[in-house]
Structure 1
Amino acid sequence: MTTIDPGTVKKLVVACDAGMGSSAMLAGTLKKQLAKDGITVEHTAVAGIPADADIVLTHAGLLDRARGVAGSTPVVPFNLFLGDPAVTKVVNGLKSGQPFDV
């Protein structure tokens, strides 16, 4: 488990396989939810995860590939594009301002 300090998170990346589709909708939703918190949300293909990402969300099926690209950046897997508990935990943790584990 990794502890995330929300004060250090400036960029959240939603990484998917092809860079389109349901994950793009998730990224758009997160962008709206986190805009007031000063967190940039980007959507990218797994192979294009930027080096300046502070946390990465990706579908569980892409976890190994995302970790290979993200290096030491925490990668949080999810199973559902809407209403997934892992995504909810990250959003709530970032909004709370309190450190949380992923």
Structure 2
Amino acid sequence: MSIQGKDITKVVIACDAGMGSSVMVASQMAKRLKPYKVAVQHSPVNEIPADAQVVLCQQGLVPRAQKNSSGAVVIGFQNFMGDPVFDRVEAAIRDGGELG
């Protein structure tokens, strides 16, 4: 499954009951994606909203996120700070590239 960056209007940062790191990621991504009019929402991995188009979560949560998100592109990351996935998502939205 894939999606064109220009078609993305909602990104969900999914977590497992962590210590707030994913909330920080959601806040940072919201700031980064605001110029492109993309909404960013934080959600537990078991409650991903049905309208999520792209779900970002820790690599270990990818299978659960895929199971709990119908039709969304799920992308895992390793590090909460500075992971290249965040740059890749922003670049796809900004430049119209493909995520998948």
TM over 0.5: yes
Does the 8 Å CA contact 1:54/1:73 hold for their aligned counterparts?
yes
1:99 maps to which residue? Answer: 97
Gaps of 5+ in 1: none
- The amino acid of 2:67's aligned partner reads G
- The amino acid of 1:12's aligned partner reads V
Q: Alpha-carbon deviations, 1:21-61, whole Å to 9, x = none?
A: 10100000000011110100000100110000110000001
Distance (Å, rounded) in 2 between the aligned partners of 1:28 and 1:100? 23
Does the 8 Å CA contact 1:14/1:44 hold for their aligned counterparts?
yes
Gaps of 5+ in 2: none
- 1:1-102 to structure 2, matched below 5 A, reads 2-18=1-17, 21-96=20-95, 98-102=96-100
Distance (Å, rounded) in 2 between the aligned partners of 1:7 and 1:92? 10
Distance (Å, rounded) in 2 between the aligned partners of 1:94 and 1:82? 20
- Measured on the aligned residues, the alpha-carbon RMSD in Å equals 1.4
Identity %: 37
Does the 8 Å CA contact 2:5/2:99 hold for their aligned counterparts?
no
- The amino acid of 2:52's aligned partner reads A
Normalised TM-score (structure 1)? 0.90
For residue 34 of structure 2, give the secondary structure of its aligned residue in structure 1.
Answer: helix
Give the number of equivalent residue pairs.
100
For residue 28 of structure 1, give the secondary structure of its aligned residue in structure 2.
Answer: helix
